[in-house]
């Protein structure tokens, strides 16, 4: 039977890891997959995580199952981090947390829930969006549609976005990126979030807010503006959260699906369905990452250390954005790429074409996603002049 199986190309983002590792060019630069890198190109285990892990190793007493919703202490910690410790939504017991295998797992839970419990409802994704959004909702069998997000001049197309949102059928789901839009790096201002809220409310849409980069844009609280606005002003919201980036727990698969409902009873009903979806997909989520997060957030000292390191990471990325534009100045390209300093998070839609990206890879061993998305965290003072020179060569 297997003779009928066709080979398919690898994932457009994860495939870059292998291609980069195989490249023997000593000058190679990895601007591909979205992982944080320090000035030496490493993705370190965060200091507080290391400490929490050694405490866990000493104190852990069991490897027994943690249940389909995961560790309740983790759920509470994530609810506070995402919605705010003094959130009126939490006070009203309108929100629930279901631990998931990473942000991707949370998205898949949401997708399966939508398919089963909101039959006939489609999902609207920004154009462009993280390519795996397409994979996840396709796999779950949810009908997908697009709303404009970036225009042909590589700018945020907010008017186009709003105009399309105003036409979405009532009750459909709209996927919003809370901050650090992946892949573009263009985020909504507070006023724009307010306008989105109004349209979502008028049309009775269900927002699914993907919050994979909390703390990587302007700060843990600042980045939560849009999520909290939606949760506090709407009866129903879904939120997917991830500790992959802000705790650096990528391979520990540590995420969460949050449901905000009209009241505590409806929240419990929805929550009970999430447990079924989780059980049917993977039963229980992995526990190591969530135990680390609980250990850190339960300790004032570890939490302060973690926040400090997260701030260092964010500042480094935002500094690199400015340095990148400066490095392009000698080539007269600083205006063309000025948007890079304005964008937020790890990613930048550079505006480079797939052909230019191919040339960067083949001629300079610089790797980025073919859409022109660059992981700014892969830059460093040592490779910036090289990258700027290569970009100048391919755009001229």
- Provide the annotated active-site residues: 130, 210, 245
3-state SS class at 189: coil
Cα distance between residue 85 and residue 89, in whole Å = 10
Residues 308-327 contacting ligand LMR, CB under 6 A: none
Answer yes or no whether residue 164 interacts with ligand LMR by CB under 6 A. Answer: no
Residues 178-207 contacting ligand LMR, CB under 6 A: 182
Answer yes or no whether residue 216 interacts with ligand LMR by CB under 6 A. Answer: no
Looking at beta carbons only, is 34 or 101 nearer to ligand LMR? 34
Cα distance between residue 372 and residue 80, in whole Å = 35
Answer yes or no whether residue 240 interacts with ligand LMR by CB under 6 A. Answer: no
Contact pattern from residue 31 through residue 70 relative to ligand LMR, giving x for each residue in contact according to CB under 6 A and a dash for the rest: --xx------------------------------------
Contact pattern from residue 119 through residue 158 relative to ligand LMR, giving x for each residue in contact according to CB under 6 A and a dash for the rest: -----------x-x--------------------------
Answer yes or no whether residue 383 interacts with ligand LMR by CB under 6 A. Answer: no
- To ligand LMR, the closest distance from the beta carbon of 356 in angstroms equals 19
Answer yes or no whether residue 13 interacts with ligand LMR by CB under 6 A. Answer: yes
Number of residues that bind ligand LMR (CB under 6 A): 6
The helix (run of H) or strand (run of E) holding residue 96 is: strand 95-100
Tokens for 325, please give them: 């534009």
Answer yes or no whether residue 243 interacts with ligand LMR by CB under 6 A. Answer: no
Question: Are 255 and 223 spatial neighbours (Cβ–Cβ below 8 Å)?
Answer: no
DSSP string spanning 117-186?
HSTT--EEEEES--HHHHHHHHHHT--EEEEE-B-TTSSB-HHHHHHHHTTSPTT-EEEEE-SS-TTT--
Answer yes or no whether residue 377 interacts with ligand LMR by CB under 6 A. Answer: no
Looking at beta carbons only, is 84 or 345 nearer to ligand LMR? 345
**H runs (alpha helix) in the chain:** 15-22, 47-59, 72-83, 88-91, 102-117, 131-140, 158-165, 190-203, 225-233, 264-281, 288-297, 300-328, 339-342, 354-364, 384-395
Binding site for ligand LMR (CB under 6 A): 13, 33-34, 130, 132, 182
């Amino acid at each position: 039977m297997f003779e009928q199986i066709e080979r398919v190309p690898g994932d457009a983002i994860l495939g870059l890891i292998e291609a980069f590792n195989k490249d023997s060019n000593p000058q190679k630069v990895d601007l591909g997959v979205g992982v944080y890198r320090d000035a030496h190109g490493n993705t370190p285990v965060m200091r507080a995580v290391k400490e929490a892990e050694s405490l866990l190793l000493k104190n852990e007493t069991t490897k027994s199952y943690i249940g389909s919703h995961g560790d309740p202490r983790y759920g509470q910690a994530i609810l506070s981090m995402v919605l705010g410790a003094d959130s009126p939504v939490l006070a009203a017991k309108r929100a629930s947390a279901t631990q998931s295998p990473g942000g991707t797992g949370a998205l898949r839970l949401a997708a399966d829930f939508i398919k089963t419990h909101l039959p006939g409802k489609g999902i609207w994704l920004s154009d462009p969006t993280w390519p795996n959004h397409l994979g996840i909702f396709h796999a779950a069998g949810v009908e997908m549609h697009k709303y404009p997000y970036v225009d042909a001049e590589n700018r945020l197309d907010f008017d186009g976005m709003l105009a399309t949102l105003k036409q979405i059928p009532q009750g459909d789901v709209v996927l919003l990126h809370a901050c650090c839009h992946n892949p573009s790096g263009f985020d909504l201002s507070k006023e724009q979030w307010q306008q989105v809220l109004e349209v979502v409310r008028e049309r009775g849409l269900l927002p699914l807010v993907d919050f994979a980069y909390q703390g990587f844009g302007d700060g843990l609280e600042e980045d939560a503006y849009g999520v909290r606005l939606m949760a506090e002003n709407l009866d129903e919201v879904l939120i997917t959260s991830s500790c992959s980036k802000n705790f650096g727990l990528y391979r520990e698969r540590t995420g969460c699906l949050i449901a905000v409902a009209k009241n505590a009873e409806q929240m419990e009903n929805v929550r009970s369905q999430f447990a079924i979806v989780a059980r049917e997909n993977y039963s229980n989520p992995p526990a190591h990452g969530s135990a680390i997060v609980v250990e850190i957030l339960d300790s004032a000292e570890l939490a302060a250390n973690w926040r400090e390191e997260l701030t260092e990471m964010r500042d480094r990325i935002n500094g690199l954005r400015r340095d990148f534009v400066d490095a392009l100045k000698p080539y007269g390209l600083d205006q063309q790429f000025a948007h890079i300093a304005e964008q937020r998070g790890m990613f930048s839609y550079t505006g480079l074409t797939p052909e230019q990206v191919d040339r960067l890879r083949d001629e300079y061993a610089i790797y980025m996603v073919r859409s022109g998305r660059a992981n700014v965290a892969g830059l460093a003072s040592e490779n910036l002049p090289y990258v700027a020179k290569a970009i100048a060569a391919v755009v001229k």
